[in-house]
Structure 1
Amino acid sequence: MLFAVTGCSDQISSKTLKTQLKRKNTPMIIDVRSLGEYQNGHIPGAIHIPFWAVILRRQQIVTSEESPAVIYCESGSRAVLAKGLLSLIGKKPVQLLDGHMLTWRRNGLPLER
């Protein structure tokens, strides 16, 4: 049922996100993986909010039509869940990183530790 609510059409490619990281007004990037996964390497500028805590920490999530928040996890399942929860409480727009960390890492894109 959650997939029917959220859909998967609101995605951003790794290439597009990398380009946006170079701009002054970058989107809010949210890593919803575990703390250990986050500490082992995350997208530069990403904040850590575990998928199970997105509702509790919703006030920290800033999104607008001009700058949707970007959510990712390792392979997609936690990010889709987090996006669905945020949509249910009206936090929109939110984009999913296409391919998530698996693709980001596979493409050799920068990581922060």
Structure 2
Amino acid sequence: MSHAPGFLAIVNDAKTRVREIDIPGYLEMQAAGTPHILIDTREQSEWAAGHIPSAIHLSKGVIERDIEARIPDHNTTLVLYCGGGFRSALAADNLQKMGYTHCISMDGGWKGWTGRALPVEK
């Protein structure tokens, strides 16, 4: 997918402030039992078509509005993913601005996950 220059500019800016993890790094984190909540920030239709097991759904359109009700502890480690790692970086940046201290964006996102034929749920 080709993204507009303005969108890429804000994503690249957010990525200067957001910690990222790639798929192998996330799998290591998961295997080590590191406590975290996995959040799918994609749209409802994307979520319904398939998502990573154990993820919760808080789309980019509502995450800032709903996060505090769903996850009130601002010290919880949050791993966010989207289609490729752009929307999740924007969401992680905003959550950090809201006081969440351990936000991680999954670089590669859903495309990287399914490209490795890892398990999915519907």
TM-score bracket relative to the smaller structure: 0.7 to 0.9
* Rg larger in structure: 2
For residue 107 of structure 2, the aligned residue among 98, 102, 107 is 98
Identity, % of aligned positions: 25
Structure 2, unaligned runs of 5 or more: 1-8
The equivalent residue for 1:108 is: 117
Residues in 1 aligned to 2:119 and 2:88: alpha-carbon distance in whole angstroms: 20
Q: Report the CA distance shift for 1:104/1:8 in structure 2 as closer, same or farther (over 3 A).
A: farther
TM-score (norm 2): 0.76
Q: Does 1:58 align with 2:85?
A: no
Tell me if the contact between 1:30 and 1:71 (Cα under 8 Å) persists in the aligned partners: yes
Over the residues paired in the alignment, what is the CA RMSD in angstroms? Answer: 2.3
TM-score (norm 1): 0.81
Q: Which segment is superposed worse, 102-111 or 15-24? A: 15-24
Tell me if the contact between 1:31 and 1:42 (Cα under 8 Å) persists in the aligned partners: yes
Q: Report the CA distance shift for 1:41/1:8 in structure 2 as closer, same or farther (over 3 A).
A: farther
More helix by share: 2
Structure 1, unaligned runs of 5 or more: none
Q: Report the CA distance shift for 1:5/1:106 in structure 2 as closer, same or farther (over 3 A).
A: closer
Number of residues of Structure 1 aligned to a counterpart in Structure 2: 111
